[in-house]
Structure 1
Amino acid sequence: MSAPKGGSLRATATRMIHQVAHEGQSLGQLLPPITATLPVDERGRLQDWCFGSCRWWHRLQAELQTRLRKPLPRRNAMLESLLILGLYQLRFTRIAPHAAIHETVETARELGAPKSLTGLVNGILRNALRDGEPPFESDAVHYSHPEWLVAKIKANWPEQWPALLEANNCKPPMTLRFNRQHHDQQSAQSALADAGITASPGELAANAIRLAEPCPVDRIPGFHEGYFSVQDEAAQLCTELLELEPGQRVLDACAAPGGKTGAILEAEPRLSEVVAMDMDRDRLGLITENLERTGTHARLIAADAAETDSWWDGTEFDRILLDAPCSGTGVIRRHPDIKLLRRETDIAELADTQLRLLEGCWSTLRNGGRLVYATCSVLQQENKRIIQRFINSHMDAQLVPITLDWGEETGYGRQLITGSQDQDGFFYACLVKSPAHWV
């Protein structure tokens, strides 16, 4: 079954779903070049079909397997993606069922399927409509997650796992961070209300505002002038934990796309210097865009933060934010393709990278300085166990308790579990460099 370029919106969605499921590409890479060319209504449909099909892939694939007499051959993988999209529209959208079936069959023809396969598509979807959804064989199917991830989350969170997995399948809110150099909570809400945007204060972060409904950033008053930024509440907490003061030198070690760098500069504009780093030189451009929009400045470096010989000038930092690369298991609701892209073997590799980054950054921190370690993961292997391993091997590392009233205390930092207060899943730990701790 071929996959010609162009064509209908469903064909475009099918190709993207296929590229995620069978070629390992992410929707974050695939969607922007296409959605930028589409009208708003088509953009929304394409995003919903792609995100929804990835969100419910494991559940829909399990149903599809029960309806096939034998597995589809690899050469028909595109057809599998189309059937997943068709089942998604039947199970989770308000599209009229017969219209969904008809358009899916037409898309099969458009993608070059022979008559035998278009008949298969028609039969499977009509039977699915007639029979309803089959019983679920496992928690992994019910919650539409890979088996290995369900097992890890159950082991890490034996009481909270059902709510966590459920939250991963919910559409997240749109949350803003207002720039305190231009707004306080009251004036920020008033500005949004004047623009016809219903919003309420966040529950966790001081500068957070949650929108009742997502909206294009062009509708947000002052967005392009840096008065507001889009950032989940959990991610906003880093600036409070850094305890920034005038004159400090700050490192944002894994900074792209720059949301936290901007938040740092907004929170304390009198810092002596902010250095924002990322290994990917291309992603430094995203930091530049964010800083230009907010009217702030940082020194940008393209380097691996762990390889200090390649970038560090020997001047120590007062504060370091290490928002380490991670599994992203705390932001699955925003990036449901993580369920298809992440592999169990990735976790140990990521943990090694996280520890290596922590080691490198620690050597650049002054005595008495503070390092905030953060991930958007809910897996202890990337979070509390990293901090535990680091403290056990560094007598000058002192864990500072986080006394703020959010998340779960783990003994080595605090964990926000996805959706517990309608926020992303995030982990934070605060470490202070204390030579006296050697004694």
Structure 2
Amino acid sequence: MNKNRYYGTHILYRVLIKHEHLKSAMTAVLPKTIEAQDKAWIQHICYMSLRHYFSLSARWQKFLHKPLKDQLVGQLLTLSLAQKFYAQAPDHAIVHEAVNTAGMLKKSWAKGLINTVLKQSLADRDFRSGNAQQQYEHPDWWLALVKKDWPDDWTDIIRANNQPPPLWIRCRPGLTDCPGRPHAQLSNARLINDKQLPHDLLAQGHISVQDAAAQWAAHLLNPQNDERILDACAAPGGKSCHLLELNPNIQLDILEQDPQRLQLIDDNLQRLNLTARRLIQGDATEPDTWYREPKYDKILLDVPCSASGVVRRHPDIKLLRQPEDMTLLTRLQTRILQAAAKLLADGGRLLYVTCSVFRAENERQIKRFLTNNPDFSEQTIIIPDSQKCKYGVQILPGQADMDGFYYCLLRK
């Protein structure tokens, strides 16, 4: 088990100090031969460490006389306390294993410090969150923005972000024995326990893992026979596949800039035995390099965003994202939206989607677009358990057990 803590410490270091995404860090650190049970434990403890990073790190920092310069040792302390509060490990085992792991990390000088600080932290019954970051487990700038955008709902949003996510699957239309609790409105969505994921049905292409909020996209676009449809920024392809499942008689073009992510889409299509008209490697902001006539009847535009609505699935996001990223993202979204608008036929519909709760990426983006494009108008859409915005609708994280998603349907 010490090796698992060794791997976990290095993963946290790569995320928090090297600013890598959690999945990339896990891929880089973990050996391909690692046992599934060990991998699951490491993933769980890393998720818990990141989800509760602000309070966990404050617990051990309280007992230092001066800041700890060695960041690897700091991540080991954070991970060790995550074992206590989110893996129910006994105190003596936590201390013993952390000291041993320090040796594996070639940090023998820190064994005494780790032993003392952990014992004090584990025995501390008087810890109180000292600031909003520690209390709500989010950066100050993020909290300020959520409070501004959702003054009546911000505590519910933050609370949902700090919870483990539920597991939704999408069943192939016509599958009669799809497991789980049905969604009230989405006919093929099922909520299941992650320990009950039917891997055989997954491998056979009968189900896909996809949150219920994301499953609204294909239904709102409502694909009809022979329609020319573009799914831009499509990876990993869940919404593309869902469109083809709802109607295999569409002419679907799938666009993705990253060749590896485009291959992932192709893999998903093959697993589900689905066929698109074209898989295109290209930049959504530069359609001149890949677009062919005629124009599209419908466009699905799931744009790059802050991912602030899916933090419970990706707790590294709230630690990696910076305030200045918002400006870059909103500019990119504007460029993609403007470029896609030129590819839509008159009378066509464009569905703008983000997995964000920040209004700058959502309704304010649409307001700017409609001001600059008077030939477009908003179409009414209804999603139960969502919030009506000035433009579009917002599903907040945790509403009806769904992730945070924004939708706005536009007609040219």
TM range (shorter): over 0.9
Q: Provide structure 2 residue ranges, at least 5 long, that are not aligned to the other structure.
A: none
Taking the aligned partners of 1:133 and 1:152, their CA distance within structure 2 comes to: 31
Q: Which runs of 4+ in 1 moved over 6 A?
A: none
Alignment pair present for 1:39 and 2:21? no
CA RMSD of aligned residues (A): 1.6
Is the contact between residue 231 and residue 301 of structure 2 (CA under 8 Å) also seen in structure 1?
Answer: yes
Taking the aligned partners of 1:21 and 1:145, their CA distance within structure 2 comes to: 14
Alignment pair present for 1:68 and 2:64? yes
> What secondary structure does 2:400 align onto?
coil
Report the Cα offset of residue 159 of structure 1.
1.2
Alignment match of 1:422 (pick from 392, 401, 409): 401
Taking the aligned partners of 1:91 and 1:259, their CA distance within structure 2 comes to: 35
> What secondary structure does 2:401 align onto?
coil
Name 1:3's counterpart in structure 2. none
Alignment match of 1:208 (pick from 179, 186, 189): 189
Which digits, 9 at most, give the CA deviation of each residue in 1:271-295, with x for residues without a partner?
Answer: 1x11111111121010011000011
Normalising by structure 1, report the TM-score. Answer: 0.90
Report the Cα offset of residue 249 of structure 1.
0.6
Taking the aligned partners of 1:155 and 1:37, their CA distance within structure 2 comes to: 47
Q: How does 1:250-399 map to 2 (within 5 A)?
A: 250-271=229-250, 273-298=251-276, 299-399=278-378
Is the contact between residue 357 and residue 394 of structure 2 (CA under 8 Å) also seen in structure 1?
Answer: yes
Alignment pair present for 1:140 and 2:136? no
Taking the aligned partners of 1:31 and 1:188, their CA distance within structure 2 comes to: 35
Which digits, 9 at most, give the CA deviation of each residue in 1:169-206, with x for residues without a partner?
Answer: 111111100011x41xxx233xx4xxxxxx21124522
Alignment pair present for 1:17 and 2:12? yes
Taking the aligned partners of 2:245 and 2:31, their CA distance within structure 1 comes to: 31
Is the contact between residue 170 and residue 333 of structure 1 (CA under 8 Å) also seen in structure 2?
Answer: yes
Is the contact between residue 204 and residue 233 of structure 1 (CA under 8 Å) also seen in structure 2?
Answer: no
Range 35-44 or range 364-373, more displaced: 35-44
Is the contact between residue 63 and residue 133 of structure 1 (CA under 8 Å) also seen in structure 2?
Answer: no
Name 1:95's counterpart in structure 2. 89
Is the contact between residue 168 and residue 332 of structure 1 (CA under 8 Å) also seen in structure 2?
Answer: yes
Which digits, 9 at most, give the CA deviation of each residue in 1:45-70, with x for residues without a partner?
Answer: 01011111111111212223222111
Alignment match of 1:54 (pick from 38, 50, 53): 50
Taking the aligned partners of 2:148 and 2:177, their CA distance within structure 1 comes to: 42
> What secondary structure does 2:353 align onto?
strand
Alignment pair present for 1:161 and 2:154? yes
Identity of aligned residues (%): 36
Taking the aligned partners of 1:404 and 1:281, their CA distance within structure 2 comes to: 34
Range 50-59 or range 248-257, more displaced: 50-59
Taking the aligned partners of 1:326 and 1:35, their CA distance within structure 2 comes to: 31
Normalising by structure 2, report the TM-score. Answer: 0.96
Taking the aligned partners of 2:126 and 2:349, their CA distance within structure 1 comes to: 52
Q: Which amino acid letter does the alignment assign opposite residue 163 of structure 1?
A: D
Q: Provide structure 1 residue ranges, at least 5 long, that are not aligned to the other structure.
A: 1-5, 193-198, 434-439
Report the Cα offset of residue 148 of structure 1.
0.7
How many residues align structurally?
Answer: 410
Report the Cα offset of residue 131 of structure 1.
1.1
Structure 2 CA distance for partners of 1:188 and 1:31, relative to 1, 3 Å: farther
Q: Which amino acid letter does the alignment assign opposite residue 43 of structure 2?
A: Q
Structure 2 CA distance for partners of 1:382 and 1:395, relative to 1, 3 Å: same
Report the Cα offset of residue 36 of structure 1.
4.9
Q: Which amino acid letter does the alignment assign opposite residue 145 of structure 1?
A: H
